[in-house]
Amino acid sequence: MADRYRPLFKLDAGGMAEVYVAEAESMAGFKKKVAIKRILPGLLKDERFVRMFLDEARLSLHLSHANVVSVFDIGKSSSTYFIVMEYVEGPNLKHVLQYLSKRRATMPVHLAVWVLGEILKGLDYAHNLRDPETRRPLGIVHRDISPPNILFSWNGEVKLTDFGLAKASTQLESTDPGVVKGKFSYLSPEAAHGHEVDARSDIFAVGILAFEMLTGERLFLGESDYKTVELVRAAEVPSISARNPDVPPELERIIRRALSRELDTRYQTASDFADDLLGFLFSRSLKVSSRALSELLEEMRSSQPSPSQPSAGGTSLILQLIDEEFLNFKSLGEDDAPETGSQPLDSMMSGAADYDGAAPLGLDGFDDASAGGALGLEPEPTASASAARAIEPEAAAGEAARRDKPARAQPSGPHPAVKGPRAPTRMPSPAPRKEGSAMPWIVLALLLALGGGAYYWLVVLGNLGRFTG
């Protein structure tokens, strides 16, 4: 490995992984900051989850675009796996929307349209990406377009991150029919029904972002997760201009088309959506660029305490342990298989075919009583979803969507998407100890007796032969 990674501070943490900002130093002495996503060691017992994690890493290695966070390396140590990626120093869309909400303001229309266009550029690139060797479409669908996964740099760059839930034809782990993945409020109607999804599902999610950026309100937010899913299924979109008079009818028609419940009337490609947004800007002679976004972010940064590196006092020991892991960092080849312990893969997976510890459950029988976790989705304020945020993790209060959230139903088998400590898996009871039997001793005594008798007769016969000789 040409690079040596030295951890600087923990950036974020969640129920499945944690992200550290590290300094990468090459053999030539060049240094740069990177973000390293580290899978929690306790989850290595779940082979399916490890495969999902490596799916994200291998898929991200194919992505190289200005609007997509770059992945530089995949590695492992003696105890866990890592993804080394671009460090985007700045807030994410969720932080910006929260900042504007506190000021009872919304993002300027022209700036919101430009940001949406940048998001769609990255998505269109991913949707149309082909295998560099076979030229076959990879069929990437992000499936987790949401505010935490839209990163902004202080310079005004817009980058899409976290393809951990992406659906691609090259994935090691495929999603079973009737299974949904993503955050409740940002699902598409077809995903909320558990149907097969394609690029148009991501387009619907971008439409949700557009509504929230222009109105400052959540589009689909029910009193419970089940109610939220029902709202997504219905896909009823209230008037945008009634909530923000600055939104002209032409722009509202564009956004409503992206939010169409019917797939055939929705935008078919991200580029078509982006072209209409760009046409809107041109028709209004609106000039906007990354400079406008950087000015808003600078205003945001100057109005609140700067997110700085945590004090080393309480985390120095942790950083030392992480540093030791980084010393044992070994890059993975494209064909390297997961190594999750001393047991062979076949033995680890035996008996595990009946459940998917990483995938959500299907929607069959989904009701309000089981809404707290029947979909198996990661909690919406997921920290591991963000690969490179420069703002400290928020207060534990979270969003209003979590206040009425019922307790999560526990599926059978381990579920790595649930935040917090994992309950130990119940291991098979040892076989009952059998009482000792006297039979082996009897057999041994007989053998000794027979052996002693044989020896006696050999001696007698030997002496008899000597006398007769």
- Give the residue numbers marked as catalytic: 144
Residue 110 corresponds to which amino acid?
H
Instruction: List the one residue out of 351, 328, 419, 363 whose CA is nearest residue 47.
Output: 351
CA distance 247 to 250: 8
Q: How far apart are CA 450 and CA 446, in angstroms?
A: 6
**Alpha carbon of 158 to those of 37, 143, 145: distances in Å?**
20, 18, 13
CB 33 within 8 A of CB 23: yes
**Nearest Cα to 158, choosing from 139, 167, 145?**
145
Q: By the 8 A CB rule, do 204 and 188 touch? A: yes
Dihedral of alpha carbons 307, 5, 93, 234, sign: negative
Residue type, 373: G
Coil, strand or helix at 408: coil
d(CA 120, CA 439): 79
Spatial distance between the Cα atoms of 262 and 273, rounded to a whole number of angstroms: 16
Closest by CA to 95, choosing from 393, 397, 419, is 393
